[in-house]
Chains A and B, each alone.
Chain A
């Protein structure tokens, strides 16, 4: 937190009235801070002179909780980390634990996990696009995106019985196979969705006002993005082709064909384009998963009490927001010795100051939107 300077009054001749900098408290109750983020801005007029994030309003001690409960019991807690894309968080946890065991997961489980993870990417990106566009003032996109997001949530309900905190996966695979209706509806959605992305794009991509508001705003170079360890679309928007689905493949990604889109300028607009293209690629992945879905069991043989060997493991996946990882230390007992979460939003939010300095208040809103944070995993 920066010090409030007591002598901000500028010394000028007595004819010119003095100016003072304004310290404004954006959030935790603010429509555009996407949850309970508090940003303290020091403004000169509307220009941002300094910017500081105050996080932790949603801190629940998830890491500590992880030390006190078994590996299976922790899965529902991961739903509450990135609650916009709960299956992604589930996937990060179960794959990390499975890596600790060295289990062999059946291919059908891999494919269904990939399918659901991509659906969660679409649902997360839709929520991002909806709120990001709303922040910049385009209200219609918000409701259009929610129309499709509703379909994705309905799909989750078909497969797992819940819509938001789905608790989708189990250690060793899935709890049970998904119903045929889920697969049919998924196919229907995958056929319909690219047209809908086109609809959003007609409202935004070539819209002059949208271009003015996003081009050249919140620019970050590839080197700076790497230095700040930013991951996900914000890193790819700066032109770095780094996607864990490609770099360290997990689940069924090694068998699937998809493109990792990157931007050039690293501004808000490029991040927008990257995410739009990611939704298209996710649809492609879904199509391939449905076409290639192998038959067979959906879970490997899992012992009744899950006691992994003593040791430690770090495993991360490509969450819609960036690298989402778990570092687990096991002492051989039923509960982990230590659980450490590597949340993408927390790390990406660290870049806010660099992005926002020198911009206007309206840019801060656009930049927060383009970072795409979710406070559940930021505050843990």
Chain B
């Protein structure tokens, strides 16, 4: 079988659109190289982008022409400062409602979470921090098709301030190229929200809606429960509320009576702490962190981002110590620029875990004597049925645990596959440039490295040896050196058995990628990678002398987010030997450290 074909097949699965468009571009440009046409071929007036593909409008298909026209229309309207979500590639009749905010009010606009609305629509949400009036428009509606549409506007889901209306006002963009429906100016609703809905009356599936929300961003409001099993009810899970001051104290794992001082006594019955959001889905995501202090050692664990209920499984707090979980609202500005973490609106829950008692957890002495008596009477029958029951139960329990771990593995695979395109295409272009310089030895050399990296990505091994990880990182670094001048160095503890110690694969690659991308020091950039043994811990560390970042704020690169998610998923699998990620950054030194606790 041919390498190229398989490669394309697999890559297509991984990076569907991107790859296709890149390949199309490559083939287009190579065609252009092979068959140079005379004069008009270079006239840029004839070349336009239909989606990601550059086409000659003299030979474009009707669909491409329509796409180009739509893009030009949307560009013209966007110049009028209207915000909308439809793009020229998207289904052209949804996400077309647009909103414009008042100028120079100092108000900050955030994008809330977008949710499915029925089966065919989306409900978008913008959050306004400040005093700005707004205007609505709809970019798909023109004077010609307006008679098909009806919209209304409702305040706080209570009062209709514009009844069902056919759009009858239109605006033309300042460049005169696009005319679109203008749906009016609306005063700000102090501490309230506006909802606009638009329907096509000939096809109610074609609909769109948007909420503009002036309410203050709130801390996550949740009720807290502890979930547990009892000896008598098998796998059923029960919940005991922790929020009220009178906590149900029937269960012997709770050693506390007030919310201010929740103490758990470790035992088999505890399953998880359940943070039950009073509003699901939450209007924006929350970032969750767990701080734990065990034996005077404090560590922070990233648990990822959520938008609803959250379960903190016991695996994260199965050792005696002090714990604090913090939910921080994360607000995203339109256009995908840097996120704001509202630390002032963060909400925390503190609890203490006490060591388990070794004796008499379930039965008092009297009960034991009684049970002993009963056992004596029914000894044969009971033992028989008990054995069967126990077998089934532990089998079920093990299977369930196995299923949970399998689920985590599947999720891990998805997170991992998202890491790929980043370096794949960079690497390909590096090789391309060598090819164009006719350096065939070097092409062979780097192609071998690229193949090894690709194979690792496609194979997705759970674990690889430190030696392989180092080799892959070197492959990666050398490929990047094709494009950027920087120096790198590896430091390996003498007593580390590189061939036999296994770790989750490609843990460090995203951080190396970041160091190169954000180092911003040209030839002066130096990256150092450490594999260190400290007692039973394995420490993987990357330092660079680049310009650095603020670890409290600038956490939003895609690579970093994926890495954090991956680490929190890995922690559900390796719950007794968690991976801990720490980042420190100064003006001259950035350090990323992953500690694999008790790994060795």
A and B together in one complex: no
